[in-house]
Amino acid sequence: MDKFRMIFQFLQSNQESFMNGICGIMALASAQMYSAFDFNCPCLPHYNLAYGLGILLVPPFILFLLGFVLNNNISMLAEEWRRPQGQRGKDPAVLRYMFCSMAQRAMIAPAVWVSVTLLDGKCITCAFCTSVPVETLGNASHPGLSQGEMKRVLARIPCKEIYDGQEFIANEVAVRYLRCISQALGWCFVLLMTTLAFLVRSLRPCFTQAAFLKSRYWSHYIDIERKLFDETCAEHARSFAKVCIQQFFEGMSTDLAAARCHPPRKAPADAGEAAEKLLGITDQGTMNVALKSWHRCKPPLHLHPPALPSSNGWAGEKQPPTHPPAPRREMAAYYSRV
């Protein structure tokens, strides 16, 4: 248990830093993804807005969901939420704490994507180039063009090679204007996010510190309890499997000996451990029958009470007197069909 205790202490004290690490990696990954992404504005009147806003808003949503998926604690939250009350009350404050801490971490990568997108400026330039105020920035003195035509011309602003509206409004002027607006929005967004984070972090000790300590303790407890239960079940499964298999081999060799109509050979006293471990199966034919039987009909998940773990697994000498013979016979009948 010492080893497990050390590991659990490490995991517990570092669970937060582990989650913070994943969160930081996702933020860096989102910035890298944006720079690797090849942004291609369609430069068509109705498609620009859809493309620009889509690139601005859809990846953050995906990153947010990914943040939840990568968080190990989401299944713990779901389990605790859905479990029947039973003998243990449910505390909604604990559930809220768990959800809030996961949501906060999941929000970082999307916020980084939106900030980087706005500060770069290409999305907003693409999305809103048809709304540039031509009257103030350029020469609006060309009445020959209809609204639709004007929009078509303005939609080509992000694509410098095909832009043909230099006489209405210079390309650089429009791009600079749009990029300035985009960067202003970006910095305002960054300021807003950091202010929110600061308020959330600093208002907590002022108002709900006691409730926070309680929720944090019990959410850690639920996590540790789940891990310990899984570990105990694994230990139990191991012992169960060991005894089940031992009983299978014992049953096999006893039945085969009975079928051959001579008593099970007593291992000589000085044969040592190796003979014991052979479990009475000492020739190729018997072993093949044992293997086939294991494959064709595995033993039931039911351990015989007398054969609980003791130091000598081989109950060759003593026949347990109280053991009802009926199950044995069943097994014998089963195996003889093999």
Partner 1 sequence: MDRFRMIFQYFQSNSESVMNGICGLLALASVKMYTCFDFSCPCLPQYNMAYGLGIMFVPPIALFLCGLILNRQSLVMLEEWRRPQGRRKKDLAVIRYMCSSIMQRAMVAPVVWIIVTLLDGKCLICAFSGSVDPKKFVGFANASPVQVQQLLAKVPCKDDELIRNNTSRKAVSRYLRCWSQALGWSILLILIVAAFLIRWLRPCFNQATLLQARHWSNYIDIEQKIFEETCCEHSRLFAHKCILHFFESMRQEIKLHSCSLPREGEGTEGEEDLLWGITDQDQVNKLLKMWYYEKPPLDVSQVTQR
Is-contact 284 255, C-beta < 8 A?
Answer: no
Output the six-digit token pair for 297.
Answer: 């009909």
Q: What is the phi-psi region of residue 241: left when phi exceeds 0, alpha when psi lies from -120 to 50, beta otherwise? A: alpha
Number of shown-chain residues binding partner 1 (CB under 8 A): 63
Which one of 32, 61, 83, 140 is in contact with partner 1 (CB under 8 A)? 83
Pick from 18, 61, 81, 229 the residue near partner 1 by CB under 8 A.
Answer: 229
Q: Which of residues 23-82 bind partner 1 (CB under 8 A)?
A: none
Closest CA to 21 of 91, 79, 108, 96: 108
Give the x/- contact pattern for partner 1 in 234-263, rule: CB under 8 A.
Answer: -xx-xxx--x--------------------
CB of 3 to partner 1, least distance (A): 13
Q: Is 298 in the site for partner 1 (CB under 8 A)?
A: no
Show Cβ contacts of residue 61 under 8 Å, excluding neighbours closer than 6 positions: 110
Q: Rule CB under 8 A: choose which of 32, 40, 75, 195 binds partner 1.
A: 195
Min separation Cβ 178 and partner 1, Å:
9
The one among 74, 99, 134, 183 contacting partner 1 by CB under 8 A = 183
Report the sign of the C-alpha dihedral through residues 48, 36, 106, 184, in that order: negative
Q: How far is the CB of 28 from partner 1 (least distance, A)?
A: 12
Residues 126, 227: Cα–Cα separation, whole Å: 50
Q: Are 73 and 102 in contact (CB under 8 A)?
A: yes
Q: Judged by CB under 8 A, does residue 177 bind partner 1?
A: yes
Question: Looking at the chain, how many residues does it have?
Answer: 338
Q: Which is nearer to partner 1, 208 or 288 (CB)?
A: 208
Asked if 228 touches partner 1 (CB under 8 A), the answer is: yes
CA atoms within 13 A on the CB side of 211: 11
Instruction: Tell the smallest beta-carbon distance from residue 150 to partner 1 (Å).
Output: 21
Out of 28, 180, 211, 338, point to the residue binding partner 1 (CB under 8 A): 180
Least spacing, CB of residue 5 vs partner 1, in Å:
7
Q: How far is the CB of 13 from partner 1 (least distance, A)?
A: 7
Q: Which residues, at least 6 apart from 24, have a Cβ–Cβ distance to it below 8 Å? A: 108
How many whole angstroms separate alpha carbon 25 and alpha carbon 314? Answer: 55
Shortest Å, Cβ 82 to partner 1: 9
Q: Is 206 a binder of partner 1 (CB under 8 A)?
A: yes
> How far, in Å, CA of 81 to CA of 200, rounded?
24
Please choose, out of 100-108, 119-127, 268-276, 330-338, the segment that lies near partner 1 by the rule CB under 8 A. 119-127
Give the span between the Cα atoms of 205 and 101, in whole angstroms.
16
DSSP-derived 3-state class of residue 87: coil
Q: Compare residues 238 and 260 and give the one whose CB is closer to partner 1.
A: 238
**Phi then psi dihedrals of residue 87, to 5 deg:** -95, 0
CB of 6 to partner 1, least distance (A): 8
CA angle centred on 130, ends 127 and 132, rounded to 5°: 105
Q: Give the residue, chosen from 121, 138, 313, 316, that forms a contact with partner 1 under the rule CB under 8 A.
A: 121
- 108 class by beta-carbon count within 10 Å (0-12 exposed, 13-18 middle, 19+ buried): buried
Footprint of partner 1 on this chain (CB under 8 A)?
5, 8-9, 12-13, 83-84, 86-88, 119-121, 137, 170, 172-173, 176-177, 179-180, 183-184, 187-188, 190-191, 194-195, 197-198, 201-202, 205-206, 209, 217, 220-221, 224-225, 228-229, 232-233, 235-236, 238-240, 243, 300-306, 308-310, 320, 322
